Structure 1
Amino acid sequence: MDTEKSILLIEDDHEQALLFKELLSLSTEEQCQFVHQDTLSRGLAHLKTNTPDAILLDLHLPDSQGLETLDKVCAQVSYIPIVVLSSTGGKEIALDAVKRGAQDYLLKETISGPILSRVLCYAIERQQLNNALLGQKEDLSRVLSSITDSVWSADIIEGKVVYRYYSPAVERITGYPREYFMSGLEAWSEIIHPEDREQFLNKVKQEILGEAVKHKYRIVRADGEERWVAGTTSPTLGTDGTVIHLDGIVSDMTERHFVTEALRQQSLQQAAVADFGQRALIENDLQALMDEATSLAANILNIEYTKILKLLSDNTRLLLCSGIGWKSGLVGYGIVDAEKKSQAGYTLLTDEPVTVTDFQTEKRFSAPSLLTDHGVASGISVNIPGSKKPWGVFGVHASQTRNYTSDEIHFISALANTLGSSIAHHEIMKALQASENQHRTMFETTKEGIIITAPDSTILSVNPAAVAMLGHNDPAGLIGTSSAFLYQNPQDREPIFKTLIKNGYVNNLEVAFKKADGTPFYVLISAVVHKDEKGNPRQLEGFFVDITKRKEAEENLELFANATEQTADSVIITDTQGIITYVNRAFEKMTGYSQREAIGQRPSLLKSDKHKKKFFETLWDTILSAKPFRAQFINRRKNGELYYEFKTITPIMDEQGEITHFVSTGKDITESKLAEAALKESEERYRTVADFTYDWEAWIAPDGSYNYTSPSSERITGYKPTEFEKNKSLLLTLIHPEDREKVEQHFENHFTDEKVLPIEFRIVNRNGDERWIEHICQPVFGSKKTWLGRRASNRDITDRKRGEEMLRELNAISLVVWQTRIDGYRKIWHPCVKRMCSNASKKI
């Protein structure tokens, strides 16, 4: 022993006690404290107040005999190493003593100093190790008992899992006692949710093969509650490389699972809404966008049925225009009543989302047949916003009862709001695109020359007609040059330009232009100034037609024939019996019938049955009386598609005044008709949204004073809101004199209902600029029908008015040009043509 030790000897023989002390002192150089007690009771009493490093214990004492003596000492101080001393005994007693807690066993007759010293030293060291291990074991036990996760270990015997240990936490997690699971893997697999059991067992097979596996699955506790658990396993390999032992941990992650799932769903929903919003900005196909919205809702919410219902124009029905999960043939045709008794109808009456947890217990409304036929049990419905009323309803439904979270409701609401904004945007853009297409088509196909210049007269754009009339081969020869070089006499330009800048337009001015080769020709010119938001000229747009004396009749006929082949308008020539003798390429493109198919047929080939018999009677009465007939036709193309056409049918007469042929010219106005309808619907539907954002809003009291004026009043009129609120007559002083009377009558009306009352008029703003105003006001009544005043919105429509004027002028010019060409053809036979052409020129 290397350090001083304390030894307790319990021995009734005093001589032997002295001997042991002497042997021990002779065998070691270190000091040893040796305490002797001659009875067990005295020894135990000593141990109550002292802790020796080792105990030498005689089994045969006056007050105790045999191994019971050892048991009594171990019971009191199991942590102190004990070396048993005996005068007699064999191997069995020695082994039994060690099993009962002794560190060693010595026969007294064999004891020597070195043996005694070595035995005591080893006993002390072993006990110290045992004590350390015991402490670690106790610490581990306390840790395992305190943690919420369950730790387990198992041996792999002949390919089977044999559990050796489960920590106490398994009882809290499962509700079953630990002993329940010691029977084997079957006990644990029995509590696993049936849908997850096969996956769990497959992973156990992987564990047995030596793979470190992570689990996540559901269990059903003893009380029937479903919980989510996660587990990890670490294998121990034997010398042959096979798995002989598994250690694992099982954690109850139910709350974490649902929190994580909720966060994941929230993240998915937010990402989906953001992505859908981006798609909505670029998606041109509205039906595809609605289909994407319903599919997105079904995938994100993991729900069987989704739908988009469009409120029809009669306000009593909703059309299922997109959806997921419905029976074949319903999407695009299914109808739902918009009455309050259905969930969709009820939703239309409220601005809040409407949720149903269980239709069986729902009292506010009943499920329509669309839902009951599909076994729907629950759902969410939200309005798709429109301007004055909801555009429709976005809904999701499940076949089971379901408690919908606020995140799920917000997700559907966000999709509906995004869809509503996109629908509004699509409607407006559709109308604008149609208008732009119409303008572009007119620009490209019209026979009038169109030149667009910068304020300094630099040519920016020219249409094909202008290029041709000016004798150029392509626009490149004109673009970038000055429009001043177009005039035959440069001095003619200055007064026209000054008038244009001053008034903003010029109309029907006759002037001489020159072609690229210097050849002069006369044109009838009109022009308009396009200004920026500050009122400064941005572009100048000029329109002109060649009014140079026409060639002889033969040349006019050839020009007419060429024009009919090149024009975008349909041309049909028939004999007096109505048999088609000629059609141009535009007719083929417009109708789908080739020249070969059309010639020899009658124009009734295009009949749509949309006109009454009286319409055709009037047509024939008119043209047989040698008068042109003009009307809007609804015809049918070869493929069965209906289209709108504005048609002029002109009789052609010979020198004797007899009708020989009829010439029909037609313009396809289908696109403009559809655009007009779409624009009208868009304006009506989204007027409220547009009117109360950028426009000048006002609240006018019954006495005419302004309770409120929005800041946009200053942008439109130049006067601040406070100036209107101080002077209720200020607006009347700004109104153009020619419009003041009708505006005063509008303001003096007695408002008896809540109709929206529109009016358009001009004002002169603070800068002296003339602006067009679209004024819309609506009476506001109290709960007892008391008139509270008017809510008004004023929009600056100056640019629109100028554009409309320009389009009217273009249409007039186009009509005159066509009439002039046809009249040129008729001139051969009818001497009155000169007078008609002269009158048409005067109109231009």
Structure 2
Amino acid sequence: MSKEEVPQHRPQSNMSETGHFTETSDVPPVMVSGEHDLLRTLIDHLPDLIYIKDRDGRFIACNLANAQIKGYASPQELVGKSTFDTDPPELAERYRAHDLQVMRSGQPLLNHEEPVVDARGVTRWFSTTKVPWRDARGNIVGVIGISRDITEWKRMEAALRESEEHFRLLVENLVDAAWIRTRQPDGSLPVTYVNPAYERIFGISAHEACWSDDTWSSLIHPDDRPRVLEALHAFLEGRSPLYNVEYRIRRRDGSELWIWARAVPLHDVQSRLVRVVGITQDITERKHAVEALATERNLLRALIDHMPDAVFIKDPEGRYLLNNLASARLHGLASPDEAIGKSTFDLNPPELAERYRADDLWVIQSGQPIFDREEPIMYADGSVHWHATTKVPWRDAQGNIVGIIGIGRDITLWKETLAAREEQLHFEHLLADIFARFVAPPQHDFDQQICQMLGFVGDHMQVDCITLLEFSSDSQLSMVYRWTATDVAPPPFNPSPERYPYTFERLQRGEVVRFSHPDQLPDEAAIDRENFCAAGDRSFLAVPFCSGGKLLGSISLSCSHSERTWSDELVQRLTLLGQVFLTALARWRADRALRESERRFRLMADLTYDWELWVAPDGSIVYTSPSCQRITGYTPAEIIQDPDLVNRIIHPEDRERFAAHLERAPVPGDVQSVELRIIRRDGEVRWLGRVCQPIYAEDGSWLGWRVSNRDITERKRAEAAQEELQAQLLQAQKMEAIGRLTAGIAHDFNNLLTVMNGFAELLKTSLSPDQPSRAYADRILSAGRRAAELVSKLTAFSRRQAMQMRVLNLNDILANNEAMLRQ
């Protein structure tokens, strides 16, 4: 209904002119004046906003609180104004709509929350109740409203909602399961809430978990179920103040988890248990970790006790708190417990104990560890071993140093091995040095280098003398190399089978001969003993080198100042050295023979008249004889440095044939030959006869081409001259045949001319001079005479007769033949 549709009944005001509530004729006549004042005072001093509006929305009455919130000093200032005069338009529209709703429906609007903007512009929240105002006849003549300021309550409500939301988010996102049991009217305490983590851990829904313990209890491991249920009932019944239990569950997917459940009780004012809040945590990983830690601890103790290293822990006073079996045994104790409480001075010699204690104090005072300190340890049997000891500070949970932790490893064998390894490295360096020097031995004074290398070996092995013997193929001593230390006066030395028969016999059999003193030699070696003593050899070692049962050589060491024991390892090293020396000697002799052979071959190749070449598979020139300069005009160095020069000097007309010659694949035993021309440096063209043959190594690999070039220019010239003479002879023979033919023809033709000329003479004589036919006869005779002359010339040519030269007049010849020519 619109504003105009509301019946305009003017109410009889029961308010005074001041805007306070007053009596009207519609008000019951019985009203005590004191009660009226008391009621007015009460309403004016209420904090709630109280007001009455007429049907047009104008204020008829209000209390002081309502006037002040609108910015008026007294209620009468608000009387007659509407809400559109006192509130923002959008709020005034809302208030007016609510007023109309109450007046139209006749139903009150109870506790409606709405914003109100006070005179300062601050928005506050009020809970408003509006009821229809009726006159004595029951007609609705306006609205009575009362609004309570709930701004603080709204703030508290929002804060509470925010707190509840935070709590909900916290509980809903807990990793652990949260659950709540709430007392019901029947006295039971079922689970009424579980968070999502509960569903995830137990693998059941919230519906299954709440209001019944059947599903939960069925998941408890059978071995743990009685204990867990008893603990829960004792807690809920008040027989136990705490609920703190660990147990296993078997989930529906077959997996098994360890659970730790804890709960706290909540009591009302009568100390009755009304609620239980619990947390259940999945401790499977922790349980496994604890079990693994216990296993690891046991394994660690077993490992420590069975370690070969000595492990110990000492307090700040140096007393043993823990040690392992190895530490106890090196001190002669039967078990590690016997060392507990003892100090290092109780178990070690004083000088060593002082040393160990100084290290302990340094670690404790500095807080720094000592790593792998090499120190001597005296074992219970009196032997001294070397240990690599590490000591680190032992700290408590607060980081305070409360002792030291130490571990000592017996490195005696390692040190001995290291010393042996260093000795082996020195020997390998010596061997490498000898190898390097023998790789390119000098062509001369190689014997001197052998003695120098023997000196290196003698210095390394700390001996006074070293001797290398070399035997021929028939096992006869062929060469002796000997080195003697500078501080030893070498006595006369004659290593022969006659002076040392026992030693040479053993060497021939491939046996090692060694002694630390000549007296160790057997009685059968009396001659050897006497000569060893004469030579001043107090200790001696000789190692033979045999191949195919034949003695190739030997190397021996001797000491004249001290007695020495020769180890098998030294024998092995000496064997290796001797083989190196003998191999170097054999190689040097082979190289020397090869160089001599090469020298002879090169000398022979250099002196050959032909131009010899060795062409490698890649086309490079390995060798060219000096004859190349005589044949080509180019030096051997130029040919080797520029292999393509061989191709460039080929005559252009022969290069295609030469290329085909080069492209032929090498075939064992195949010899290729070709004749071609070259152009020398000076431009002269020479003929070469080129012969190529593939060269192969012993393993069958192709090494290239052996090429022999021979200068055949003179031969080619002789062949050309011979061909020219042959042509002349053939021509002569042809001419002779023609002459014979010409002679026969001339003879026969001359006979015919004789007949013709004779009859022509007869014909001429039979004719008178005035007859025309006589001229014809003359011509016939003239032609016959010329034919006779021609026959005479042919006869002269065939017989090679000398020609008689004469001058001819061509005019006469033409005049004589004019008539014939004209006809």
Q: Which one has more relative contact order, counting CA pairs under 8 Å at least 6 apart? A: 1
TM-score normalised over the length of structure 1: 0.32
From the CA coordinates, give the structure whose radius of gyration is larger: 2
TM-score if structure 2 supplies the norm length? 0.33
